[in-house]
Amino acid sequence: MTGAQQPDALKRLVIFVITLAILGTLIALVGYFAVDLPQQNNVQVPQNSEECDILTVRLAACVEKCSELAMLLPGGHPLQVECANQCAEYLRQFEAVCTGFRS
């Protein structure tokens, strides 16, 4: 190989690599628009999401109420026990409806 042929071979190699990069980008874009984007656009909210939101609010309010009762009343007071049972029921409902739906 002579000195004049080396830059020409290097130039062809650079063009080949750039062509491969452009081709790879085009294939990736086609795959994205054909497969990934339609799947992202078809995501539907689970039907029980509103019920889960309501149960989340109820459970949080119950825990807050029980915490306030714990500060005001002596341990084992009937109101504390009733409150704890109510929170446990909300938690059971939440787990039954929303398990696997939220992390």
The torsion angles phi and psi of 2, rounded to 5 degrees, stand at: -95, 170
- Which alpha helices (H) appear in the chain, and where do they start and end? 5-31, 37-41, 49-72, 78-98
**What pLDDT was estimated at residue 10?**
92
Residue 28 located in a structural domain: yes
> d(Cα 80, Cα 33) in Å, to the nearest integer?
57
**What pLDDT was estimated at residue 3?**
59
Residue 103 located in a structural domain: no
Based on the fold, state whether residues 54 and 90 are members of the same structural domain: yes
Residue 17: left (phi > 0), alpha (psi -120 to 50), or beta?
alpha
* The total number of structural domains that make up the chain: 2
**What pLDDT was estimated at residue 103?**
41
> d(Cα 37, Cα 32) in Å, to the nearest integer?
6
Based on the fold, state whether residues 38 and 62 are members of the same structural domain: no
Based on the fold, state whether residues 10 and 26 are members of the same structural domain: yes
**What pLDDT was estimated at residue 31?**
93
Range of the domain at 3: 1-43
Based on the fold, state whether residues 21 and 60 are members of the same structural domain: no
Residue 81 located in a structural domain: yes
pLDDT along the chain (103 residues), means of 10: 73 96 96 88 69 84 84 79 86 79 45
Q: pLDDT tens digits, residue range 28-52?
A: 999 999 988 888 877 766 666 778 8
